[in-house]
Amino acid sequence: MTDSIYGGYANILEELRSMMEERINTYTKEVYQETGLKICEHLIARVKSEDSMREKCNRKGVPETPESALKRMRDSIGIRIICPFIDDIYENVNRLRNFPDCEVVEEKDYIRHAKPNGYRSYHMILELETNYPDILGNPKGKFFVEIQLRTIAMDSWAALEHQMKYKKHIENQELIVEELKRCADELASCDVSMQTIRNLIYQG
Ligand code: 0O2
């Protein structure tokens, strides 16, 4: 059996994933009780699989070691929060920024600044201070958590586009890329209209 890319840290990563998931579920329930609004449609949390982490280390040209997986890659723990409306994304972002024992080390707003292919999402990297020692020997070890926040529309688009990337031979690739971009822009426009309608409903 080959050694885990996460060394002896696989169980800790699972524990931290579960703890983060619980924290997010807790505040979304609180918001629902206070306002009646569901700011999270659903969330998916995972520890990146061994194979994907090894593939990513190779892709980034770093050795396949626990240190790379835990310190150079920052998505060993990944959480995707799917939101009904665009404003819900920013509401979640504000709450995540104030999480205790967490430092926001990176934020990328691919909603205000979509990628050229049409990809939209809000990305955050949090660094979590824990009571577990980390691979560098810090007694209060630090672990990265990548959080992606998207609307339902952005999520279905990203899933389809992801399928295209992983399929080796595609006919009419140029046309598909063009159509995907068109579709991303239409969905973005719908997300804005849906937000406006919701605002109108709640104004009245
Ligand atoms: P997977 O298989 O989803 O885990 P990084 O690549 O993380 O070192 P970078 O390049 O700054 O750093 O990443 P960025 O732009 O923050 O994107 C990281 C993740 O966002 C990707 O992870 C994807 O999950 C998602 N993502 C980014 N761009 C696109 C896109 O154009 N289309 C789709 N479908 N997803 C995207 P991985 O590890 O690349 O892939």
Q: Give the sign of the dihedral formed by CA 38, CA 84, CA 95, CA 6.
A: positive
Report CA-CA distances (Å) from 82 to 7, 70, 165: 31, 25, 22
Please, are residues 155 and 119 in contact by the beta-carbon 8 Å criterion? no
Q: What pTM, to 2 d.p., does this model score?
A: 0.94
How many domains in the chain?
A: 1
Q: Output the residue whose Cα is nearest ligand 1's atom 22.
A: 75
123 three-class SS:
strand
Q: How far is the CA of 174 from the centre of ligand 1 (A)?
A: 21
Share of the chain above pLDDT 90, in %: 91
Contact 43, 21 (CB under 8 A): yes
CATH number at residue 62: 3.30.460.10
| Residues forming beta bridges with residue 143, ordered by sequence position | 128
Count of other CB atoms within 10 angstroms of residue 65: 15
In a domain, 148, yes or no: yes
pLDDT value of residue 166 = 79
Q: What percent of the chain has pLDDT over 70?
A: 99
102-132 pLDDT per residue, tens: 999 999 999 999 999 999 999 999 999 999 9
Residue range 14-32: mean pLDDT, rounded: 97
Record the tokens describing residue 169, joined without a space: 């031979």
The answer to whether residue 58 is domain-embedded is: yes
In a domain? residue 47 = yes
Tell me whether strands 102-109 and 122-129 are parallel, antiparallel or unpaired: antiparallel
Asked whether residue 2 is domain-assigned, the answer is no
Ligand 1 pocket, CB under 6 A: 52, 56, 75, 108, 115, 117, 119, 123, 158, 161-162
CB 73 within 8 A of CB 115: no
Examine residue 71 and state whether it is found in any structural domain, yes or no.
Answer: yes
Residue 51 lies in a domain: yes
Cβ atoms within 10 A of the Cβ of 1, count?
3
Residue 31 lies in domain: 10-157
Give the distance, in angstroms, between the CA of residue 15 and the centroid of all CA atoms in the same chain.
Answer: 18
**Would you state the structure tokens that stand for residue 192, as one six-digit string?**
């804005």
Contact of 137 with 148, CB cutoff 8 Å: no
| Mean pLDDT (whole number) for 176-186 | 96
Domain membership flag for residue 103: yes
Asked whether residue 200 is assigned to any structural domain, the reply reads no
Residue 202: predicted pLDDT: 87
